[in-house]
Structure 1
């Protein structure tokens, strides 16, 4: 286990929803954390700065405002801070936005990830954990999704960039013996969440009396996963890198590098979208005005994680019930927006 006397841990996307929570948990455990983020305007920069403010005053935390797609700046960060582990959580998120601004996804999610991999190669990183996504499964009817499935047919550019990250990580594990672990996140929600995601959008609409937009006429299912569970899983996996000579999980073919791992991390209990809305209405104490719309391009019908490999290899399982998580989010939302 890393401790305070070791090199720091680099967390990319430290002002982001997941990155900020991972950085907080690492600091709570006594680690030094180097956070980087470019604080772009994809969504409210004030929210990103507020997350960051919770970290900046803490002992052991330093921050660099850097764009991961800037190769020279990223090289300088690695040279200056000499991290031991990397939790790569920075990315251009969002399925629908990839229809409007595809170049942002290539610059951040592909070129940026390349810079992370090169930093890991050139500076002897002990373990790289990076965010993948349940979006890579596309509209596969084979549920629950497991990491042995074919994911060669993404239906959004965002998903394609996340699949490319997995392929690139395998190359670096194979050629340069870099321990890498990809985590496919499933519909993360909770306090300090992103304003472009359903739980935030719906809560805002309920509080302001505006209609919520319900796609595919409400016939959608999501494996909603609470932020604290996701962040705890990232930290647990980060501290347990694959080791040379180990057997790759899930009986993968021998052609797969033993230093390359891939896991789902989700609640393993998909919820009908309309049930989620009913639960949110209950904890918010108000009914939503509903606007039913057709399916959006790039969206998937269902997400459903098979997390048996994560449970087997790390003894880790997501545990926060939906109503408890939604209550925590609504409490945070009301407090944050009445300051």
Structure 2
């Protein structure tokens, strides 16, 4: 298959493109290579992909309507994996327009391309952030998601509604994936575990919000990619009736205490963190917890990586590759 991967230089995009290349697919990657976090890390990911014969790359902003239209007109994609987005909850408080441009307008350009060029399947990234202020746990795909606590969450929920509309109006087969706190090698430096690793290694204090009283359903990158690749070639069974749009949770189905994650990371890095305890930040939620019953039933999703094992893999990469 010929597959477009948006956000190919990003964390999940890089790992997904690598796995799809290993499976024999032809991948076209796009990314705007913005400076939200270290461009050098994005460049190193991209260099690994560009070394593969079946990968080609174009620097392109999702919000570039003409550029995106031309890409679809000239490329003949069988499927699209739409992972490109402006990420980060706290960043959205000070930079709202970046989220509308990338996440809303950018998703519309992808939907228009899929609509007009008969793409067989669109898989897109949503987020556990859409559950917002929900207090019922675990978070189920049957739950209402109309109480976002950040603009980032609101844009991701908007994406789900836009995709549902395009599936209804134009019959485009679409699957959304709500990712739960994805971590691992080649990860995003703005994520807590990565920021903690940097600070611990450099002997700087780490900021621990809500005095450490938080829970997260940490999901290892390989498990996330398992879920993505099981879907990309075709929608889940039954997804075409009556509207070809489905949304699934991709999480570890096990919330972990933030302080336990920090302790494990200290052990893996061999240094103790100096902790700066702070109140809860605007846009944060106390706990995330994925109900993956539907994901397991429909696509056979079964996360296998414990937090201890996942952080071991991350720490090994961090100390031997990232810091080299």
Give the TM-score band, short-chain normalised.
Answer: over 0.9
Structure 2 unaligned residues grouped into runs of 5+:
none
Which one of the candidate residues 40, 48, 65 is aligned to 1:46?
40
Question: C-alpha distance in 2, partners of 1:208/1:202?
Answer: 10
Please report how far the alpha carbon of residue 258 of structure 1 lies from its aligned counterpart in structure 2 after TM superposition.
3.0
User: In the superposition, relative to structure 1, how do residues 273 and 232 fare at CA in structure 2: closer, same or farther (>3 Å)?
Assistant: same
Cα distance between partner residues in 2 of 1:245 and 1:133: 20
Corresponding residue for 1:199? 193
1:314 is matched with 299
Distance 1:287 1:58, change over 3 A: same
Counterpart check, 1:235 vs 2:220: no
Q: Output the CA distance in 2 between the equivalents of 1:166 and 1:94.
A: 18
| Aligned counterpart, 1:328 | 313
Given the alignment of the two structures, is residue 284 of structure 1 paired with residue 278 of structure 2, yes or no? no
The 5 A counterparts of 1:80-91 are 80-91=74-85
Name the counterpart of 2:95. 101
The Cα shift of 1:316 comes to 1.5
- Give the alignment partner of residue 61 of structure 2, picking from 38, 62, 67: 67
CA distance in 2: counterparts of 1:294 and 1:162, whole angstroms: 26
In the TM superposition, residue 240 of structure 1 has moved relative to its aligned partner by 2.6
Alpha-carbon offset, residue 113 of structure 1: 0.3
Superposed CA deviations along residues 153-193 of structure 1, whole A, max 9, x for unmatched, are: 10100000000000000000000000000000000000000
1:236: how far off? Answer: 0.8
> Distance between the aligned counterparts of 1:245 and 1:57, measured in 2?
36
Q: Size of the alignment, in residue pairs?
A: 324
Offset at residue 337 of structure 1 (A): 3.7
2:120 equivalent to 1:135: no
The answer to whether the 8 Å contact 2:216/2:258 transfers is yes
The aligned runs of 1:13-32 (5 Å cut-off) are 13-32=7-26
Match for residue 214 of structure 2? 220
Of residues 169, 180, 186, the one that matches 2:174 is 180
Aligned counterparts of 2:139 and 2:17: Cα–Cα separation in 1? 28
Contact map agreement 1:33 1:61 (CA 8 A) in 2: yes
Deviation at 1:338, TM superposition (A): 3.4
Normalised by the length of structure 2, the TM-score is: 0.98
**Post-superposition shift, 1:79?**
1.4
Structure 1 Cα separation of the partners of residues 266 and 318 of structure 2: 14
- Is the 1:179–1:242 Cα contact (8 Å) retained in structure 2? no
Is residue 2:295 matched to residue 1:301?
A: no
Shift of 1:246: 4.4
SS in 2 for 1:125: coil
Deviation at 1:283, TM superposition (A): 1.3
Conserved in 1, the CA contact under 8 Å of 2:236 and 2:299?
no
Q: Distance in 2 between matches of 1:141 and 1:131?
A: 23
Structure 1 unpaired stretches of 5+: 1-5, 248-256
